[in-house]
Amino acid sequence: MINYTERLTLLMQDIVARVPTLSFIDPADLLVFARAGRSTAEGAFATCHCLSLPASEPGYYFWRDRTTHRITRRSEWFVTKSPVVTVGTRRIKYMLSFSLPRFCDQSLDRSRKERFYPGAEPWVAKLDTVVHELYHIDPELAGIRRIEKEDGTYSANCHGHAFFEQVADMVHTYVASGPAPDMFDFLRDDFKTLEAKHGGVVGTSFRTFPSFPQRYIERLAEQLPCDADSDQCTVDKCNNSGSCVFSNPLDCEDDPEQTSLQSVFEETLPERLVTRCLEQIQADFCRSSDTHLLPVPLPTFPGIRLYLKDESCHVTGSLKQRLARSLRRARRTTT
């Protein structure tokens, strides 16, 4: 069998050694993993996730009355942190995910990349994707690379025409450096060919897939004073899973604008069940995978693009269905 993520890791090591723009990257700081992505669906071929972001400044969620504009309810103070991922004793700073088999089956033909590689073989599209994700790594290791505009300011978008051109230049630099063919030959084959040739495709992934380590909130041990606090302001407890538990129910009839899912729970259910329900909801949000857009050709309407939202990757139902199922499960296990 071929270990696809291992081969990608070796390729990245060779790329950063040959491309000066990416020479600041230490491959030991990276973790490459695979995630599911069908070739017949629209979606990203790969993604870059930063784990080196520092903790945020303390903050809180709040709810403001639409009439009086006063803050009537807020969460406890918390900070947002990056998860710690280690391989052995080495702390990982960036994770790069590759959607299989979609990544393996991509081609230059009729893609936005085609114009950068005239006459190139189709597999170069995959090499472009690998360099693309490496280029997202910030030289200061402080997040995703920011793209500077002509006026010296930074773009809110991490992609742009200049970004794609720079990626193509680095791909040409790498190919011109004369790398050994066995470093990139595996990119020539699509997924079915790889399976037939090697007897299967394996790779690194997370047992909790489609969930993987992401930024999370942590309650401040020492709560700070808040100018918004008053006799009419309710402070809701936060737990470290990212959800808040309301300590005082709201009167939905007196203040319909403030009605929320949590407040309805608190009025009708015991606090222990509320906590478990909200934890189940948060867990389902974390497990949610991409729902891809499938293009539908309309030859008689050349100016119209039609896409269908594909929910089949959610084998247990849509997000709303899974949330409802989680609440029923929480009720059964708590009562």
Q: How far apart are CA 280 and CA 286, in angstroms?
A: 10
Please check whether residue 185 lies inside any domain of the structure. Answer: yes
283 & 195 share domain:
no
Asked if residue 313 has pLDDT above 80, the reply is: no
Q: According to the per-residue pLDDT averaged within each range, which of 52-66, 151-165, 244-258, 289-303 is highest?
A: 52-66
What pLDDT is attached to residue 52?
Answer: 86
Is residue 294 over pLDDT 80?
no
Boundary-marking domain end, from 199, 219, 239: 199
Mean local confidence (pLDDT), 308-316: 59
Number of domains in the chain: 2
Alpha helices (H) along 184-260: 191-198
Which of these three, 199, 224, 239, is where a domain ends? Answer: 199
Query: DSSP letter string over 91-155?
Result: EP-EEEEEEEETTTT--STTSTTGGGSTT--TTHHHHHHHHHHHHTB-TTSSSBPPPBPTTSPBP
Of 199, 223, 239, the position where a domain reaches its end is 199
- Which of 76-80, 158-162, 240-244, 269-273 is most confident? 76-80
With bands split at pLDDT 50, 70 and 90, how would you rate the model's confidence at 45? very high
Same domain for 15 and 144? yes
Site of tokens 């959800």: 243
**How far is residue 159 from each of residues 106, 146, 154, 162, measured CA to CA in Å?**
19, 9, 11, 8
pLDDT in tens, 81-113: 888 898 888 999 999 999 999 999 998 887 889
- Say how far apart CA 147 and CA 157 lie, in whole Å: 7
Q: Which are the contacts of 19, defined by CB distance < 8 A and separation ≥ 6?
A: 131, 170, 173, 174, 177
283 with 187, same domain: the answer is: no
Same domain, 189 and 279: no
Report phi then psi at 31, rounded to 5: -125, 120
Among 156, 152, 202, 169, which Cα is nearest to 21's? 169
In terms of residue numbers, what domain contains 333? Answer: 269-335
